[in-house]
């Protein structure tokens, strides 16, 4: 069952890529503590929808989120080196953190995994976005397979304004 509104985000170690900086492994509890965060998850770095529509929306609207006092984190079940290369190829601004969930530890703890074996991808994250304050989920939107309607940057901003 996916994580629900009012629940605490799980605490697992995660690799964090922030711009051209080093890759750091830290507990997710440290990453979310005391922060107002939008976390979005994608099935895979360099995949078509993720690279052409999902991440670019957050890059485009990053300053809008920051102006609202929000940090933005994007997550995928890929290794940290792939996430770093993806961030560079997508011109991800410093501050928009990419989380490499290579073993799907955070994805599974969130209850948001999917089996992409039919596409040669193994276990991946469902496409989603959530808003958390100090590690507590305030809103979550999980996409139906093949869709990008509720977890894109524009949809999340609209949700946060309502």
Sign for the CA dihedral angle at 85, 32, 138, 108 comes to positive
Predicted TM-score (pTM) of the model is 0.96
6 part of a folded domain: no
64 part of a folded domain: yes
How far apart (Å, rounded) are the C-alpha atoms in residues 62 and 70?
9
1 part of a folded domain: no
Active site residue 121: no
R_g over Cα of the chain: 14
Domain with 28 in it? 13-161
4 part of a folded domain: no
Active-site pick, 37, 50, 70, 77: 50
pLDDT in tens, the chain (162 residues): 899 999 999 999 999 998 666 799 999 999 999 999 999 999 999 999 999 999 999 999 999 999 999 999 999 999 999 999 999 999 999 999 999 999 999 999 999 999 999 988 999 999 999 999 999 999 999 999 999 999 999 999 999 988
48 part of a folded domain: yes
103 part of a folded domain: yes
Cβ contacts of 119 within 8 Å, gap of 6 or more: none
Neighbours of 78 (CB within 10 A): 25
CATH number at 131 reads: 3.40.30.10
100 part of a folded domain: yes
81 part of a folded domain: yes
DSSP 53: I
Total domain count for the chain? 1
């Amino acid at each position: 069952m996916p994580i629900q509104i009012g629940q605490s985000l799980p605490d697992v170690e995660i690799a964090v890529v922030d711009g051209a900086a080093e890759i750091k492994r830290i507990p997710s509890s440290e990453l979310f503590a005391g922060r107002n965060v939008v976390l979005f998850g994608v099935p895979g770095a360099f995949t078509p929808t993720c690279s052409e529509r999902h991440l670019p929306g957050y890059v485009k609207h990053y300053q809008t989120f920051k102006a609202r006092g929000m940090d933005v984190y994007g997550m995928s079940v890929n290794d940290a080196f792939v996430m770093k290369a993806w961030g560079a190829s997508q011109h991800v601004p410093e501050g928009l953190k990419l989380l490499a969930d290579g073993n799907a530890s955070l994805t599974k703890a969130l209850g948001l995994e999917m089996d992409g074996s039919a596409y040669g991808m193994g276990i991946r994250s469902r496409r989603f976005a959530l808003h958390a304050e100090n590690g507590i989920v305030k809103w979550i939107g999980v996409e139906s397979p093949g869709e990008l309607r509720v977890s894109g940057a524009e949809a999340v901003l609209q949700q946060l304004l309502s």
